[in-house]
């Protein structure tokens, strides 16, 4: 059975029931700065912690029609940041079209890359394409230890991830002065909160230097108690204890910074959500009962609308906080 720790590293034992948790506070949207688009659930990996349940056999992919609708929305609301996610977003046949359309509009483009995709057949030009378009690469590398990465993501994934970083470094990513950003994402191996991101960044830099690879920042992200990770906790009898830890680690200062305030998440079929996690839980934007399609929102301002919150949201506010850009407070 996995060991349960709080964000200070103290051992915890499963305590009160999930049902006894206080409600997550009500929060409202600000104006949207980032549109996070899930291009599909297909992935060349099938990681144990994946909150999307992505994998090689998933068929869901965003069509060009839906992608065009995304750009109609971007143009209408002048959204400055396009965040492409999946699955492995690069496996969508319109991935490169999406990047080029966004760059032509002067947007900041983020590719949530799993690094191993860079070594897949047919992706030989991917690193060059990303560099040419100045795409900000945010890459998952949940640990600097080969053993831990392979345990969480599959045998051989660590070596392939290092190979992917080398391809990106060769294009200038992670190298001072190039302007090409390569950020890594850390998430805990089990039911604990991420450690201090500055200390962990130094540790990553030292270990990865031995492999001759460079990166810019390390983003620390809390594992959300949904989908595969939730099932794992249930299987190990740790779900209640994990929820108690997240709730008792609630830090009010994180509430104003949670990513859903300024992000709109769009699913592969064009439905909209306050964040990627709510998308996976099928909680429509604003807490509406029915799914809402982007086509219904083109003329509707979202500012000040309530955000659909539930107990999983404590994963965003515990300890230093967590978002797709890493910790919320230092």
The Cβ of residue 15 has, within 10 Å, a number of other Cβ atoms equal to 13
Closest CB 330 distance from ligand SF4, rounded Å = 19
Closest CB 253 distance from ligand SF4, rounded Å = 14
- Residue where the block lists tokens 């104003």: 256
45 binds ligand SF4 (CB under 6 A): yes
User: 3-class SS at 181?
Assistant: coil
What sign does the dihedral 41-42-47-53 (CA atoms) show? Answer: positive
Peptide bond into 21 cis (omega under 30): no
Among 4, 47, 81, 302, the residue binding ligand SF4 under the rule CB under 6 A is 47
DSSP one-letter code for 240: H
Total binding residues for ligand SF4 by CB under 6 A? 24
* CA-closest candidate to residue 18, choices 230, 323, 327, 255: 230
Binding piece for ligand SF4, criterion CB under 6 A, among 95-103, 231-239, 274-282, 285-293: 274-282
Among 312, 325, 326, 327, the residue binding ligand SF4 under the rule CB under 6 A is 312
313 binds ligand SF4 (CB under 6 A): yes
What is the rounded distance in angstroms from the CA atom of residue 307 to the CA atom of residue 295?
A: 19
- Binders of ligand SF4 among residues 62 to 101 (CB under 6 A) are 86-88
Among 69, 259, 294, 297, the residue binding ligand SF4 under the rule CB under 6 A is 259
Nearer to ligand SF4, 172 or 190 (CB): 190
Tokens of 61: 């992919």
Give ∠ CA 198-200-206 in degrees, rounded to 5: 105
Among 114, 201, 232, 320, the residue binding ligand SF4 under the rule CB under 6 A is 114
- Binders of ligand SF4 among residues 169 to 198 (CB under 6 A) are none
Nearer to ligand SF4, 92 or 140 (CB): 140
Among 101, 184, 277, 326, the residue binding ligand SF4 under the rule CB under 6 A is 277
Nearer to ligand SF4, 71 or 114 (CB): 114
Nearer to ligand SF4, 56 or 237 (CB): 56
Among 37, 39, 50, 127, the residue binding ligand SF4 under the rule CB under 6 A is 50
Tokens of 220: 């620390």
Per-residue 3-state assignment (H helix, E strand, C coil) for 12-71: ECCCCCHHHCCCCCCCECCCCCEEEEECECECCCCCCCCCCCCECCCCCECCHHHHHHHH
Nearer to ligand SF4, 52 or 180 (CB): 52
Nearer to ligand SF4, 114 or 171 (CB): 114
Binding piece for ligand SF4, criterion CB under 6 A, among 29-37, 38-46, 56-64, 122-130: 38-46
DSSP one-letter code for 91: G
111 binds ligand SF4 (CB under 6 A): no
Q: What would the DSSP string read from start to end of 285-330?
A: GGG-SS--BGGGTTT---TTPBP---GGGHHHHBTT--BTTB-S--
Sheet holding 108-113, edge to edge: 218-220, 182-186, 136-140, 108-113, 81-85, 34-38, 263-266, 272-273
Among 70, 141, 221, 307, the residue binding ligand SF4 under the rule CB under 6 A is 307
Using only C-alpha atoms, the chain has a radius of gyration, in whole angstroms, of 19
What is the rounded distance in angstroms from the CA atom of residue 242 to the CA atom of residue 193?
A: 10
Cβ contact 17:329 at 8 Å:
no
278 binds ligand SF4 (CB under 6 A): yes
Nearer to ligand SF4, 54 or 71 (CB): 54
Which positions touch ligand SF4 (CB under 6 A)? 43, 45-47, 50, 52, 54, 86-88, 114, 140, 258-260, 274-275, 277-278, 307, 309, 312-313, 316
């Amino acid at each position: 059975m996995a060991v349960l720790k709080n964000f200070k590293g103290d051992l915890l034992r499963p305590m009160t029931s999930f049902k006894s948790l206080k409600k997550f506070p009500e929060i409202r949207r600000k104006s949207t700065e980032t549109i996070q688009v899930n291009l599909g659930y297909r992935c060349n990996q099938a990681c144990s912690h994946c909150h999307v349940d992505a994998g090689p056999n998933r068929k869901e992919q965003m069509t060009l029609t839906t992608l065009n609708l995304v750009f109609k929305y971007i143009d209408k609301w002048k959204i400055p940041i396009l965040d492409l996610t999946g699955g492995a977003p690069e496996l969508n046949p319109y991935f490169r079209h999406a990047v080029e359309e966004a760059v032509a509009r002067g947007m900041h483009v983020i590719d949530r890359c799993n690094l191993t995709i860079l070594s897949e057949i047919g992706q030989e030009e991917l690193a060059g394409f990303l560099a040419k378009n100045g795409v900000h690469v945010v890459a998952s590398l949940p640990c600097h230890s080969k053993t831990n990465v392979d345990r969480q993501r599959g045998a051989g994934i660590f070596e392939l991830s290092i190979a992917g970083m080398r391809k990106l470094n060769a294009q200038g990513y992670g190298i001072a002065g190039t302007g090409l950003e390569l950020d890594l994402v850390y998430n805990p191996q089990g039911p604990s909160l991420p450690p201090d991101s500055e200390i962990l960044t130094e540790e990553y830099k030292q270990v990865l230097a031995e492999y001759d690879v460079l990166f810019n920042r390390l983003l620390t992200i809390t594992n959300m108690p949904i989908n595969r990770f939730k099932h794992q906790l249930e299987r190990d009898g740790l779900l209640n204890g994990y929820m108690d830890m997240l709730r008792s680690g609630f830090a009010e200062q994180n509430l104003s910074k949670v990513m859903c305030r300024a992000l709109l998440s769009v699913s592969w079929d064009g439905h909209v959500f306050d964040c990627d996690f709510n998308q996976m839980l099928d909680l429509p934007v604003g807490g509406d009962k029915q799914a809402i399609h982007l086509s219904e929102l083109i003329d509707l301002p979202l500012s000040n609308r309530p955000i659909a919150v539930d107990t999983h949201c404590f994963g965003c506010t515990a300890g230093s906080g967590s978002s797709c850009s890493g910790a919320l407070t230092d």
